[in-house]
Amino acid sequence: MGKSNTDPRKAWLAEAKFVSWWLTFDDFAWPHPELTRKWKERAAAFQQGGANAVVMFGFHFRFDYTGYFDRVFGVLREISLICRDHGLRVVEHHSPTLVHRARGEADRRDIRERNFHHVPFYPDSWENQFFNGQPMADWRQISARDNQPVFFERYTCECFCPNHPGFQQACLDYAGRHLEAVPVDAWMSDDLHYLPDVYSCACRHCRDRFRDEEGLDLPPGTDRNFWENTENPDYLRWIAARYRWNTDHYRRLRAFLPEEIALWGCASDVLAGRLTGMGFAPQHYAAHWDAVFHEIYHLHQPGTHDADIASDLAGFASVARHYDKPLIALFYAKSTGDVPRWLETTAFHRARPWLSSQPRDPEAVREEALLANGYAYDEEAANRPVENSVELTFSVEDRDRLGAAADDAYVTPFRQRCHELVKQGKIPHIRFTDLE
């Protein structure tokens, strides 16, 4: 078992009812009395609606704002102080790893149409992008396929390497600057991925670390005896190394942050086969978190995606029990009618609820309206002892060895088994083999 969260300064997590505070381009008009009025009204609505914690959303790809940090801090500081005046805890949320980059007008349109909720305030090029005098372009992940910086089409972005010492120091320096400027209660560091696939990252820092830790030289991307060959034990060691390296980001942050500041990261899945290529293992990250966090995929809705919802929540709830830490579950609602079912679902899995509107849908009801009928979360159900549980074993090693066949052959049947148990009113307790 991991270390239990016993710090009394973090006891609020066990009673937290979160709500998203979405930022927009309009907030960059700060300082402005109309913004102050709007922010006070929103904080009052959240307080009256029963929320007691807000999560700052919107200024997401944080190193895109390098030239504007003082403005970002000014916006966030005023909102944070207003929230505290209304009895609301404040969670800082951002990605330190992803940065929007447009290769032309088509990319700009793509960012605006698909990622506008991120408030994409990105620079035109790398030419003048420095942090503490270092060229940020040097931090980028490199693909073993062509030894060029990776580009992740889904988010129209590039990605920083967690093994680059300049990036590692920049994350801590940024955290120090932010915390000095903005009072917060928790720190949520997002997007600890290797993207877009298992060939990332092959920069010199990753190559050197793989050689130092495993005694192996990373071969060229054309070596089919190694790459994507799950029969090769050296390749499986590469897979395992990337899980460790991403986990180290949270170890460094937890050691750096003041103890009273809670820490967690973002994770939408703990089972899927795609996690292998991303080097993504929240079951290990949670050793350095103060709460286990699960973002329910924004398109999933009760009644239509029940197997995915049940299995994902069961996986994260099991990780939370393993480490004896609270579970937080973020769900997206489009209307007030969606909220009761989501609150029932999260309470069943003993998760602290985080309510958010659907930012990608301009017709979705905003958070203030979603809370108009209160935050009717069943505390009694959420805090009752876990009984009638059924233990299931999930082998990360077996999943990784299956490669591209993992979802069909292993993950999907496992999800269905979790769903069947939940329909019977039972709690799937998942034992992850890599946590033994």
Closest CA to 208 of 165, 146, 248, 170: 165
Q: What are phi and psi of 86, to 5 degrees?
A: -105, 20
Q: What is the pLDDT of residue 1?
A: 38
Q: What is the pLDDT of residue 7?
A: 85
Rounded Cα distance between 27 and 22, Å, is 10
- List the structure tokens of 79: 């909102």
Judge contact between 59 and 23, C-beta under 8 A. yes
Q: What is the pLDDT of residue 3?
A: 46
Rounded Cα distance between 222 and 426, Å, is 48
Q: What is the pLDDT of residue 4?
A: 53
- List the structure tokens of 204: 């010199």
**C-alpha dist (Å) from residue 376 to 170, 303, 340, 352:** 41, 20, 7, 12
Q: What is the pLDDT of residue 363?
A: 86
* Domains of the chain, start order: 8-435 (3.20.20.80)
Which residue ranges of the chain lie beneath pLDDT 70? 1-6
Q: What is the pLDDT of residue 430?
A: 98
Q: What is the pLDDT of residue 5?
A: 57
* Tens of pLDDT, residues 139-193: 999 999 999 999 999 999 999 999 999 999 999 999 999 999 999 999 999 999 9
**C-alpha dist (Å) from residue 179 to 71, 145, 223:** 14, 39, 46
Judge contact between 174 and 135, C-beta under 8 A. no
Q: pTM here? A: 0.95
Rounded Cα distance between 201 and 282, Å, is 19
